[in-house]
Amino acid sequence: MQANCPKQYLPIASKTILQTTIDRLLSHGQIQQVVCAVSDGDGYYADQACAQDDRVTRISGGAERADSVLNALTATIEHLGAEKASQTWVLVHDAARPCVTSKAIDDLLSFCQQQGHGAILAAPVRDTMKRSNDGTNVAKTEPRDGLWHALTPQCFPLLELHRALSDALAQGVAITDEASAIEWAGGRVGLVADSMTNLKITHPQDLALAELILSSQEQTS
């Protein structure tokens, strides 16, 4: 992001990206608690409004995203105890996706409730897909049929996800989202269609785009 602080603390509209994302999650009627993975050396989190919010629990982040998620799941299981944990589902979300909507979360929760297994928000690939072997020239065109962008939140039973993720990481499997851990463990993952407006802020130009999306969502809500 070419920023002078971790990107989740960059301002977007009147708040930081992190605070915007957490506010979006907590404004959903079925989300009671957010567990936020924060690096131990982080010097910014304490100044966020969420640091004073009883509904938000800070836990230690890890080196990679999957390590942070595993820490958050472990802390949640310890907090709930075995019996309650066995009945609990979790939504795992990127701090860098502040434009997630309540409607998308509703769709995801309804799907999981109806199907009885986990699912992710996703958007179908719409451009022609090119493969390059050198980053300069096209080697071939890949069929895009059946390809989707994986978004977040991703929703799974707490214990199923914890087991899949800890086993996959213990065996050195590369895990970039929760679904990949469940897939690796042989579980079922549904696709719930969402919009690419649920973007992950990754490049500097994404900030302005996310600001526009937030503002248009506020006008239509």
Ligand X SMILES: Nc1ccn([C@@H]2O[C@H](COP(=O)(O)OP(=O)(O)OP(=O)(O)O)[C@@H](O)[C@H]2O)c(=O)n1
Q: Which of 75, 150, 159, 209 binds ligand LQXTBERG (CB under 6 A)?
A: 150
Provide, rounded to whole angstroms, the least separation between the CB of residue 9 and ligand X.
11
Cα separation of 110 and 106, whole Å?
6
Q: Does position 48 bind ligand X by CB under 6 A?
A: no
**Per-residue x/- track, 183-212, ligand X (CB under 6 A):** -----------------x-x----------
Q: How far apart are CA 151 and CA 206, in angstroms?
A: 15
Q: Please identify, using beta-carbon distances, which residue of 117 and 149 lies nearer to ligand LQXTBERG.
A: 149
Q: Does 152 bind ligand LQXTBERG (CB under 6 A)?
A: yes
In the complex, the smallest distance separating the C-beta of residue 112 from ligand X, rounded to whole angstroms, is 21
Residue with tokens 């989202």: 177
Which listed range, 58-66, 142-150, 157-165, 181-189, lies at the site for ligand X (CB under 6 A)? Answer: 58-66
In order, the DSSP letters of 27-86 are TSTT---EEEEE-TT-SSGGGSGGGG-TTEEEEE--SSHHHHHHHHHHHHHHHH-HHHHH
Rounded distance, CA 218 to CA 98, Å?
13
Q: Where on the chain is the footprint of ligand X (CB under 6 A)?
A: 1, 7, 37, 61-65, 68, 94-96, 200, 202
